[in-house]
Amino acid sequence: MRIVFDLGGSVVMPKEGANVEKIKEYANTFKKIKDEGHEVAIVVGGGRTAREYIGIARELGANEGFCDELGIMATRMNAMILITALGDYSIKKVPTSFEEAELILNLGKIPVMGGTHPGHTTDAVAASLAEFINADLLVIGTNVDGVYDKDPNKYEDAKKFDKMSAKQLVDLALSSSLKAGSSSVVDLLAAKIIERARLKVAVVKGTPEELLNVSKGIINGTIIEG
């Protein structure tokens, strides 16, 4: 399969700071998945690095467009860290376009992207990349084990979806931006790209174990298609 993995920046740079052993564990997981015969592409978020720099910039009076640019730089720094851990499985270049990412993929390497344009989250970048390279599967690794109708970390009665349509995902993303108590694993733009491209998506807890499981056809989360 050709698989795009969408990872939050907290994987590389969690709140408590970078964990070199954990980064190595993720890199080894992606190496295993590639060695199983899959084509792998990765998009990494900004995490703590982005939040800290954006927070400082806002206090200094920066506008949101400038803050977006800072966030993009942070995602690319995180991407470089993961590229370093991947060694010969990747190349020492963060692709800044989908064309570059596809070229690296076609060379038999693992492209690791960050952000691309102001106003676009890395969720949207991952969905767009999956569409561009005709990926068989988009895997969204999150801090929960699937898609819920509201935040399961706040609400005990939150309902998990084992399967859902892209239209349901769009509706959920829209409601999360309008109504307190709702939670969506992806933003509205990413959800709309998923719907437009008719992507098959697996939303799972973003641990190395669960990412490896997905490559073996074991999805302990939510499947989105149709």
Known binding-site residues for ATP equal 9-10, 47, 51, 142-143, 148, 151
Residue ranges of the annotated binding site are 9-10, 46-47, 51, 68, 116-122, 142-143, 148, 151
Tell me the two tokens of residue 176: 């999360």
Greatest CA separation for the chain: 49
Listed as own residue / partner, the contacts of 158-161 with beta carbons closer than 8 Å and 24 or more positions apart are 158/183, 160/222, 161/222
| Cβ neighbours for 79, distance < 8 A, ≥ 6 positions apart | 42, 44, 94, 112, 113, 114
Residue ranges of the annotated binding site for UMP are 46, 68, 116-122
- Cα 31–chain centre separation: 18
